[in-house]
Amino acid sequence: MGKDVAAIRNELRVRLGQIARELGREVYPDGLSRDTKFSELETIAGTLGDEIARQLIETQVRGQAEGWPEEQLGECPECGGPARKAPDQPRVLTTTRGEVAWDERVGHCTRCRRAFFPSAPSLGH
């Protein structure tokens, strides 16, 4: 079951503030100059926020895929035969925050020799 987004935001508010200040010092080491347009600051902040979001998604999906036990490959969706692990396949998904890449688990049916991607209900399917 998913976490409450507002609760996560509140729990991480202090740490997010620290990260924002650290990034601000890196982007503007001498401080924000008076001639910086608000729209420029907003664009930079949005780009950095999107990259943090993209990396968070990618890190979590990669960890989930890498931690998928072989015994949970399930049965072949075609014939119901037993599955064994086949070599993982690269996967790239374009999100609203950018491209996310990981190696997707692949099953191989020992009966009908079909390769398939096991279903992953925890990925939102």
Q: What is the pTM of this model?
A: 0.76
Residue 28: predicted pLDDT: 96
96 in any annotated domain: yes
How far is CA 119 from each of CA 12, 30, 51, 69, 74, rounded to the nearest angstrom?
Answer: 32, 51, 28, 13, 9
67 in any annotated domain: yes
How far is CA 99 from each of CA 4, 53, 58, rounded to the nearest angstrom?
Answer: 25, 11, 9
Q: φ, ψ for residue 62 (rounded to 5)?
A: -60, -45
How far is CA 11 from each of CA 3, 4, 17, rounded to the nearest angstrom?
Answer: 12, 11, 12
110 in any annotated domain: yes
Q: Which helix (H) or strand (E) holds 84?
A: strand 83-95
125 in any annotated domain: no
Which tens digit of pLDDT belongs to each residue from 37-96? 999 999 999 999 999 999 999 999 999 888 877 777 788 899 999 888 889 899 999 999
26 in any annotated domain: yes
Query: How many domains in the chain?
Result: 1
124 in any annotated domain: no
Containing structural domain, residue 55: 5-119
